Amino acid sequence: MTYKTLLYEKADGIAKVTLNRPEALNALNSTVYTELYDVFEAIENDADARVVVLTGSGEKAFAAGSDVVEMQHMNTLEIQQFVAVIRKASDRIYSLTKPTIAAINGYALGGGCELSMCCDLRICSEKARFGQPEINLGLIPGACGTQRLARIIGMAKAKELIYLGDMIKADEALRLGLVNKVVPPESLMDEAMEWAKKLASKSSPVLAMAKMAIQTGIDTDIASGLNIEARCVALCFATEDQKEGMKAFLEKREAKFKNR
């Protein structure tokens, strides 16, 4: 697959998607979002792609935000259409049935921070910087920041970041739970790929059940969430991998999952 603003490669069950506008600090314009939707839609339907790593090209930025050059002259109708394009891509990434890892190698600001939050796991370089600076442009976040950020780090801290528009460093992002792990810059992709390899060794349908239970249940009451969990556990027992996993455990050997 070839794209104007993305790089795509796949090996050993791991799909790697790279935002590729380094001259613009990987700023997110309508072409990027359209191509992100297309590539994640293709990944969803590719049985050979079991895990996704999303990163940015260059050392300076994962994505420095949505492209202000494109946005500055938009009217109300045009910005609504742009936000719809963003929402379509963001929802496609968030709802992917396969695990996703954001490898964040610099600035993740505005739309870049929001894009990273669409992934299941986030690992970042010590040089990474996060923020929702839209308030400084006379805007509010429009790519899930007011919703997903509060769900990840809590309402009070989300309001602080959105209202003040300040950047935070990697160690603060880790403390808040915005990222899962912080590593030296030179180790970022190696660490992300190690996580991806470990995930690729698991059962794809069972991982999909885990993701469904967590993401569907989080927005319901506890009783409804537990009902969702129970159904997903039962569905695991419809897979060959569940039988192999338990058999391997009893035989004291490593399971060999077939992703079915």
The helix (run of H) or strand (run of E) holding residue 129 is: strand 129-131
Cα torsion angle, 138, 139, 145, 146, sign? positive
**Is residue 44 pLDDT above 90, yes or no?**
yes
- Which residue type, as a one-letter code, is found at position 78? E
The two three-digit tokens of residue 65, written as one number:
């935000």
3-state secondary structure of 30: helix
- Is pLDDT at 255 greater than 80 in this prediction? yes
The span from the CA of 9 to the CA of 42, in Å, is 12
> How much is the pLDDT for 1?
74
Element (H, E) at 15: strand 14-19
What are the pLDDT digits (tens) for 99-155? 999 999 999 999 999 999 999 999 999 999 999 999 999 999 999 999 999 999 999
Residue 109 β-bridge partners: 131
CA distance 56 to 105: 7
Catalytic residues: 114, 134
pLDDT of residue 181: 98
Residue type, 60: K
Percentage of the chain beyond pLDDT 70 is: 100
pLDDT value for 191: 98
* Structural domains of the chain, ranges and CATH numbers in brackets: 6-200 (3.90.226.10), 204-250 (1.10.12.10)
**pTM, two decimal places:** 0.95
- Contact partners, residue 157, CB within 8 Å, separation at least 6: 176
pLDDT digits (tens, 9 = 90+) for 162-199: 999 999 999 999 999 999 999 999 999 999 999 999 99
Whether the predicted pLDDT of 93 surpasses 80: yes
